[in-house]
Structure 1
Amino acid sequence: MNETNPIKLTSLTTKGGCGCKIGPAELSQVLRNLPPAPYDPQLLVGLDTSDDAGVYRLTDELAIVQTLDFFTPIVDDPYDFGQIAATNAISDVYAMGGKPITALNIVAFPIANLDKEILTNILKGAADKLQEAGVTLVGGHSIDDQEPKFGLAVTGTVHPKRVRTNAGAKSGDKLILTKPIGVGIHTTALKNGMLSVEEVKQVTSVMTTLNKETAETMANFDVHAATDITGFGLLGHTSEMAKASKVGIRINADQVPILPRTRELAQAGRIPGGTKNNFAHVQNDVEFAASIDEIDRYILCDAVTSGGLLLSVPADEADLLLNELVENGVNAALIGEVVREHQGKIVVQ
């Protein structure tokens, strides 16, 4: 942690505030009452499939990818918080098969009550991660708020015929996950002082690792569907893929990469509210093997910040893609498959 700013950022959220997404059930209730957007043939990806970003066609050769994400601090170091927020926001563009090009900062900060250097370091962290991703910061907007929040709106480009969505998974595909889960449980434990310095570094490293290498590697393969694993957890985003693609999905729980000590921390009660909401939302769409207990079910639903990509890949390309990802330094694993049975549902075995 930056010693000139010893304040714990994670202690600054208001009581009950976690900075996590509005739960999928609550969000669904809000959105279902909105009138449908006017039809626009240039809108290639909108609200219909709960995808990671919107895609709008400008020409036959060019479309833009647009996304936005922000949240309250989940780590105490301001610089790390800025890096995590930037990595998380950029990830949606990678998930759509796009190349991020510009970004806008979104800042809420109690400017009269906190050291201004804290905000400077948040912005520095984001700026450094944008530079790593090759993204140009073009501006932003700030407000004086009682608790700090930070994020970015990111724009990318993609060829209209190369857009990846969560709606293209096909029976017979294999599923690859490119980062470990358990981030939400670990960041909740961090707020309660239960992580060692090395464990804080480990979970921060996961959250600040761009999905750039994954995106560049998968561009050479016939990836049928992709999504990034964030607030709705592995099973929440997998459920969206199953429903959007009108397929069934089988997950092998013992093959899912999980951060060390995740189960221990979950057993100690460090399960965030967002994770519990995720589990409640998907439990009717998931069939768990009897050997998978409640703790493991929560872990598979854990609310992730800046997670990996979930890729649905033809079976004959899966091993080659997995090997290339691993060779390129990506912590990827083969975790399941797409099936014809139980359309829109998940079986976890």
Structure 2
Amino acid sequence: MKRKQMRRAVWGNMIALLLLSCNPNELPPPSQGDIVFSVAGEVEGAPLNLSAGLEGYFMYTEGAIDSSGLWQATGRLGALGCQSGCPPELSFRFQSAGEAQLDSLLLPGLVPVLSPGETVIDTIFQAVLSASSGHFSGIAAAAHSWELADSVFAIGQTAVIPDLQMPVEVTLTTTMADNCTSTTTKQVSPLSGNALPCTVGFQIDSGGLDSVIIATVLPGQDWVQTFRWQGVVEGEVFTTFLPFQAPLDICLEGINLDGCIAQQCQTIIPGQPGGAASGCFNDFSIEVQPSEVATHFPGALNGVALMYTDVDGNVFSSEWGAQPPGTFFEVISASPYEVNAFGQATRRVAINLRLQLFSASGAAGPEAQLAGEVAIGLP
């Protein structure tokens, strides 16, 4: 009888131990890891062989959804609890815009490699235009108006074309306090720089006779290729014998081969000595200011990234630069695995890869050629 009781006690203790060992809330010591997860190959030609459960390595998994709504499924093969002087470690991150996209990344086949995107540097040309004017009688300018392009106008002594992409014709019209007007037209381009002076002027002599008017171009008009009086091509002197009883406007245009057109108009009053009631001119300078504008085009939302930390603590990632030709990341297979410590579902993923790694500055680092099986946590 006593022997039967002893047998029952032994069996009872064994059953209790079995029940405790099967407690689903109890996890095996992390230091033992899981030998099914290992990655082997080369990094910059040096052998690399990491296995969870050996030499203190452990397979960490975690899933999360970041602040922008992207799904992050990560797995890290690293030394347990190491803070400094750690051996090499590898980290894998599958990123997607949602659950369906993440599932598609884990299908057998090639997976896009995440990249920082592309930054394009464009040179923007800004043209600053400054008006100058004068009057034979010293009268000040009352207003400057600009026609910068079709139906684009500006008022003031200066005008700005913020983004000058191609040559445009700009016309400046200056009105003096006595209503004398002068007009200058120039072609402004990104290569204009500071253009040559573009102003034309003339003096009038009626010879004391109302019926004879002689207009002569002032000195300093060497830039002019063609003079046009009253819209008709003429030389440097314009003579008219037409009698007039009312004030008459005479206009002169100077045109050069660079597309600069300057115009000046004067009003002739019958019987007034010298004949000139007013005379004015204008011009404007062109200063082209180049500047660089960077436009960033983000990379794809869906893909994978590999991060490698060497024995010196230097961190490299495939995501910090654009992958050169011949690189790839391949998923061989993916299947459900155990729930991780966060209560998240995980996937066991067989991989094969050849990736270029980069430093955080974007400089090319080591190349990794690896294959094996890892685990990732799902959000």
Q: TM class by shorter-chain length?
A: under 0.3
**Which has more strand, going by share of residues?**
2
Normalised by the size of structure 2, how large is the TM-score?
0.18
TM-score of the pair, normalised by structure 1? 0.19
**Higher-helix-fraction structure:** 1
In our comparison, the structure showing a higher alpha carbon Rg is: 2
